[in-house]
Amino acid sequence: MALDPYQSTPVVRVSTVIRNIGQLVTIAQQPIPGASGPLQVLERALLGVSQNRIVWLGQEGEGEPQFQTDTPGTDITVIDAREAVVTPGFVDSHTHLLFAGNRAEEFHMRRSGIGYGELLARGLGILTTMNATRAADEETLLTLARERLVSLNAYGTTTVEIKTGYGLSLEAEEVSLRLINKLNATSEIAQPATQKVRVVPTFLGAHSVPPEYRDRRAAYVDLVLHEMLPRFVGLARFCDVFCEREAFTYDESLRILTRAKELGYYLKLHADQLSPAGGARLAAELGAISADHLDHASDPDLEAMREAGVVATLLPGCSYTLRSPYPSARRFLDHGLHVALATDFNPGTSYCENMQMILGLAMSAMHMSLEEALTATTINGARALALQDEVGSLELGKQCDLIFWSIQDYREIGYHFGTNLVQSTFTQHT
């Protein structure tokens, strides 16, 4: 091929170049030259990275830029991907992973016929975990949470949302939020084992009415409204409410979330999980970022959510655990909603930190295609955290959070099941 004398090779400054990628599943939102399919897959790809941002992506060979170090005096690190399949890291947009104890005993009680709602009404369920969490010291809680972060990262998660909601007092909720912030990859005390996971904190003081307020629930709502919410500004990105017959009513949720919005929190809801309690409608009315669960959301609710741009987050781990019918993902997709999938990792209804399992359940029991399920566990998880410009797909300028898979072809994801197909994850938080 004749050289074009007017076209010089561009120079791209990087700290790291990742070569020899067999398939780069970008999930890009814009077409990428040379990429194919709805997921924009590039074969024989390479990535240039500077300060954990993607500064180059394309096919190897012709058209490659000239890479120069972004830090004079330091060599470029070259990583050979050995033809691995590479995707964005999973974004798990709904977890309750900061807690002590577990509820194996209640799990088996439920298996013998006692309902989840009935346990809540008896002061068990969430309140069992509240008691264990309040009784644990901070170091114990941190250690448990770190172990869980290491585990979910081993299954491919690189961004995780973590909710409070097992403290349920001003002091205990504040401790939970401070610990969740400490767990973040970029926090001063982050440890090597957790440095690969970006943590997004959510305040869920309205998870359950604690026993001290059982007979004066209005006083607890006031505590959330007037003391917790103003005090936690800056500590939590989101405010969430468990809007449910056994938890908080539509009106209580409306008051809490309206105030939260005024204070600058993004909004989420646990909506219509056990009964049609108005959560999905409220999410649309308030312009929440996501409404989660949605087992009992009606068609008009879904219409309203689409109009308002609310992400529908489905949590198949709950259906699996509670043996309740799986919500039909097709219904949400046919309504034109952005569908996200998350683990809902918690000790009651979904004791699972593995996004591959969630993706597999969605493909099998909720009839999602691989393309839909991969989209739901990456870019749509990012949308559910209002982080779609930062993570969830591999595009220029975004964070370079990757999964290296131990498979030959990305179509093995969701097909080969019950084993961990993730070899490792890559991030370089600074």
- How far apart CA 116 and CA 95 sit, in angstroms, is 18
Which residues sit at the interface with Fe ion, rule CB under 5 A?
344
Residues 95-114 that bind ligand NIG (CB under 6 A): 96
Per the annotation, does 429 bind a ligand? no
* Contact present, 23 and 88 (Cβ < 8 Å): no
Per the annotation, does 344 bind a ligand? yes
- How far apart CA 182 and CA 142 sit, in angstroms, is 9
Per the annotation, does 416 bind a ligand? no
Interacting residues of 390 by C-beta distance below 8 A, sequence separation 6+: 382, 398, 399
In the bound complex, what is the minimum distance in angstroms from residue 260's beta carbon to ligand NIG? 18
Residues 323-362 that bind ligand NIG (CB under 6 A): 344, 346-349
φ, ψ of residue 346 to 5 degrees: the values are -160, 160
Query: Binds 174, which of Fe ion, ligand NIG, none (CB < 5 to 8 A, cut-off by type)?
Result: none
Q: Does 318 bind ligand NIG (CB under 6 A)?
A: yes
Q: Does 158 bind ligand NIG (CB under 6 A)?
A: no
In the bound complex, what is the minimum distance in angstroms from residue 190's beta carbon to ligand NIG? 26
Amino acid residing at 218: A
Amino acid residing at 400: C
Record the tokens describing residue 208, joined without a space. 């359950």
* Contact present, 257 and 241 (Cβ < 8 Å): yes
Q: Does 130 bind ligand NIG (CB under 6 A)?
A: no
How do 198-206 and 238-243 pair as beta strands? parallel
Torsion angle in degrees (nearest 10) through CA of 299, 28, 155, 423: 160
What is the number of other CB atoms lying within 10 angstroms of the CB of residue 36?
11
In the bound complex, what is the minimum distance in angstroms from residue 209's beta carbon to ligand NIG? 13
Interacting residues of 295 by C-beta distance below 8 A, sequence separation 6+: 272, 273, 274, 319, 324, 325, 327
User: Judged by CB, which is closer to ligand NIG: 253, or 349?
Assistant: 349
Q: Does 273 bind ligand NIG (CB under 6 A)?
A: yes
Scan for tokens 């839909």, then name that residue.
372
Query: Binds 338, which of ligand NIG, Fe ion, none (CB < 5 to 8 A, cut-off by type)?
Result: none
Q: Does 153 bind ligand NIG (CB under 6 A)?
A: no
In the bound complex, what is the minimum distance in angstroms from residue 325's beta carbon to Fe ion? 18
- How far apart CA 123 and CA 287 sit, in angstroms, is 32
Query: Binds 359, which of ligand NIG, Fe ion, none (CB < 5 to 8 A, cut-off by type)?
Result: none
What is the number of other CB atoms lying within 10 angstroms of the CB of residue 359?
25
Interacting residues of 252 by C-beta distance below 8 A, sequence separation 6+: 206, 217, 221, 241
Determine the interface stretch with ligand NIG among 125-133, 277-285, 366-374, 414-422 (rule: CB under 6 A): 125-133
In the bound complex, what is the minimum distance in angstroms from residue 347's beta carbon to ligand NIG? 6
In the bound complex, what is the minimum distance in angstroms from residue 133's beta carbon to ligand NIG? 10
Continuous H helices in 163-290: 170-182, 217-222, 229-231, 250-262, 279-286
Residues 206-245 that bind ligand NIG (CB under 6 A): 242
Torsion angle in degrees (nearest 10) through CA of 184, 187, 191, 193: 30
User: Judged by CB, which is closer to Fe ion: 45, or 206?
Assistant: 206
Q: Which of 17, 84, 126, 341 binds ligand NIG (CB under 6 A)?
A: 126
In the bound complex, what is the minimum distance in angstroms from residue 94's beta carbon to Fe ion? 6
- Which residue is closest to ligand NIG by CB? 348
Query: Binds 106, which of ligand NIG, Fe ion, none (CB < 5 to 8 A, cut-off by type)?
Result: none
Per the annotation, does 96 bind a ligand? yes
Record the tokens describing residue 273, joined without a space. 């999980």
Per the annotation, does 69 bind a ligand? no
User: Judged by CB, which is closer to ligand NIG: 214, or 411?
Assistant: 214
In the bound complex, what is the minimum distance in angstroms from residue 258's beta carbon to ligand NIG? 21
User: Judged by CB, which is closer to ligand NIG: 252, or 395?
Assistant: 252
Query: Binds 378, which of Fe ion, ligand NIG, none (CB < 5 to 8 A, cut-off by type)?
Result: none
In the bound complex, what is the minimum distance in angstroms from residue 350's beta carbon to ligand NIG? 6
* Contact present, 91 and 381 (Cβ < 8 Å): yes
Which of 355, 333, 403 has its CA nearest to residue 393?
403
Per the annotation, does 40 bind a ligand? no
Residue ranges at the known binding site for N-formimidoyl-L-glutamate: 166, 346, 348
In the complex, the residues that contact ligand NIG under the rule CB under 6 A are 96, 125-126, 129, 242, 270, 273, 318, 344, 346-349
